Amino acid sequence: MTETLTERSQKILEAIIEEYIATAQPVGSKALARNHDIKLSPASVRNVMAELEELGYLASPHTSAGRIPTEKGYRFYVDTLLQVNDLNSRQKDQIELQYQQHGLQMADMLREASRTLSSVSHYTGLVMVPRLKVTIFRHIEFVRLSPRQILAVFVTQSGLVQNKLVEIDEELTPRDLEQITNYLNHTMTGLSIQEVRARIVAEMANEKALYDHLLRRTFALSTAALVDETTGDIIIEGTSYFLEQPEFSNLKCMKRIVQTFEQKNILIDLLDRGLDTEGVQVIIGSETKYSELADCSLITAAYSGKRGTLGTLGVIGPNRMPYSTIIPIVDYTATLISRLLDTDND
C-alpha cells in the first residue's frame, strides 16, 4: 500500500529525483535549496527527507549524508509526479529524417528505429522483430536440396525473409515443388500466417484433399514450412551508452549487462509484456523480475500495422533515466513506425 504524501513531501521527493537524475550524486538539503524553488528552512527539508527515507522512498548511501531515490521513489515519481515533455520540432525532425526513403522495407525500418531511439535518447534502443505468425504472406519458394530435404524461403508482405529447412517423408520432384509453390502463392497471398494456417486446416478437411495426392503433400509441406519455432528476435543499438553511466562503471556490473544483451531472451520477454499494453509502459528495477536488470528501467510502446500489433520497441537504461524526455521519444517513434507500416508495407 502506497502512503499518501503531503504536497510538501511530494515536492521535495520530486526535486531530489530530478537532481539525482541530472547529477548521479546523492542529494543533500543544500543542493535542494540551491537548485530548486523550495521555500523551507534547511532543517525542515532535512526532516522531510528523513520521513521519506523512513517510508522507503529515499535511501542514504553509507558514504554520503545525501539521499538517493529508491525503486519505490521512482515508481511514485513516474505514476504521480512526472510531467511528460512534448518533443520539440528538432527532435521530431531528427526521428522522422531516418524514414524518408520511400519503399524502405520493414527490416530496415526496424533497424533504423532502434538506432534512432538510441541516438536521440542517448540510451540503448530495443526493437522486437515481429513474430512470423503476425506477418502477412506474400511469397514462398521451395528449393530441393536432396530427395527428402527442402529449403523453404518465405517472404512477408513487408519484406522480411525467413528460411526453413524441412525434412519430408516422401520424395518431391522439381515439378511437384513448382506446382505446390504456384498453388500457395495463388491462394494464400495477402493473408496473415495465422489465416494461412487456418485455411490449410480447413482445406485439408475438404473432400477433394482426401483424394488429391499432390494437394495433401502441398498442405503437409506448407504446414511444416510455416511452423514458427523461434522465440523471437530483437534489434539492439547503443549498448555503449551503458559505459557512460556511473552506475555501471563497475566491471562486474557492466559484464552482467553485456551478457544479458547477448542472451537476448530476457529482453525479448520484457518486450513481449508490452504487446497487449496500450500507450507507454515503464518497468523499473525489480519489476523486470530479473536480478540482472535490478538497476535498470525499461520504457516500451507497441507498434502495429493494418492487422494489429506487430511488436514492441523501447529504451533501456539506468533507473536514473530522465523519464520526462524518454517517454515521448518512445511514444512518438512507436506511433511513427505504426503509421509507416500501416500506409506503406502491409
Boundary (domain end) residue, out of 225, 247, 271: 225
More confident residue, 41 or 318: 318
Residue 38 one-letter amino acid: I
53 φ/ψ angles, rounded to the nearest 5 degrees: -70, -40
Q: Kindly state whether residues 192 and 153 are assigned to the same domain.
A: yes
For residue 245, pLDDT over 50 is answered with yes
The pLDDT score that the predictor gives to residue 290 is 92
Helix axes 106-121, 323-340, angle to 10 degrees: 160
Min mean pLDDT across 36-45, 64-73, 182-191, 244-253 is at 36-45
242 assigned to some structural domain: yes
213 assigned to some structural domain: yes
The pLDDT score that the predictor gives to residue 54 is 94
Q: Kindly state whether residues 338 and 206 are assigned to the same domain.
A: no
| 3-state SS assignment for residue 40 | coil
Q: Kindly state whether residues 217 and 260 are assigned to the same domain.
A: no
Per-residue pLDDT reduced to its tens digit, 119-164: 999 999 999 988 766 677 788 888 888 888 889 888 877 667 778 8
Q: Kindly state whether residues 36 and 153 are assigned to the same domain.
A: no
What is the domain extent for residue 23? Answer: 7-81
333 burial level (CB within 10 Å; 0-12, 13-18, 19+):
buried
Q: How far apart are CA 225 and CA 339, in angstroms?
A: 30
Boundary (domain end) residue, out of 181, 201, 225: 225
Q: Kindly state whether residues 205 and 297 are assigned to the same domain.
A: no
Q: Kindly state whether residues 36 and 181 are assigned to the same domain.
A: no
Per-residue pLDDT reduced to its tens digit, 149-158: 889 888 877 6
Q: Where residue 29 sits, what CATH number does that domain have?
A: 1.10.10.10
The pLDDT score that the predictor gives to residue 159 is 66
Q: Kindly state whether residues 104 and 142 are assigned to the same domain.
A: no
| Grid cell of 155 as nine digits | 517472404
Q: Kindly state whether residues 189 and 166 are assigned to the same domain.
A: yes
Boundary (domain end) residue, out of 65, 81, 97: 81
**Band of residue 102 on the pLDDT scale cut at 50, 70, 90:** low
Q: Kindly state whether residues 144 and 214 are assigned to the same domain.
A: yes
| Grid cell of 278 as nine digits | 496500450
Q: Kindly state whether residues 246 and 331 are assigned to the same domain.
A: yes
Q: Where residue 164 sits, what CATH number does that domain have?
A: 3.30.390.60
For residue 104, pLDDT over 90 is answered with no
For residue 316, pLDDT over 90 is answered with yes
The pLDDT score that the predictor gives to residue 346 is 42
What is the pTM assigned to this prediction?
0.77
Three-state SS string over 168-237 comes to CCCCCCHHHHHHHHHHHHHHCCCCEHHHHHHHHHHHHCCHHHHHCHHHHHHHHHHHHHCCCCCCCEEEEE
The DSSP-derived string for 266-313 is HHHHHHHTTTT--SEEEEEGGGG--GGGTTEEEEEEEEEETTEEEEEE
2 assigned to some structural domain: no
192 assigned to some structural domain: yes
Buried b (16+ CB within 10 A) or exposed e, 259-297: ebbeeeebbbebbbbbbeeeebbbbbbebbeeeebebbb
The pLDDT score that the predictor gives to residue 270 is 92
| Grid cell of 344 as nine digits | 506503406
Q: How far apart are CA 91 and CA 234, in angstroms?
A: 24
Q: Kindly state whether residues 236 and 215 are assigned to the same domain.
A: no
Counted domains in the chain: 3
Closest by alpha carbon to 49, among 38, 40, 58, 36? Answer: 58
212 assigned to some structural domain: yes
1 assigned to some structural domain: no
268 assigned to some structural domain: yes
Q: Contact at 8 Å (CB) between 286 and 294?
A: yes
Q: Kindly state whether residues 193 and 254 are assigned to the same domain.
A: no
100 assigned to some structural domain: yes
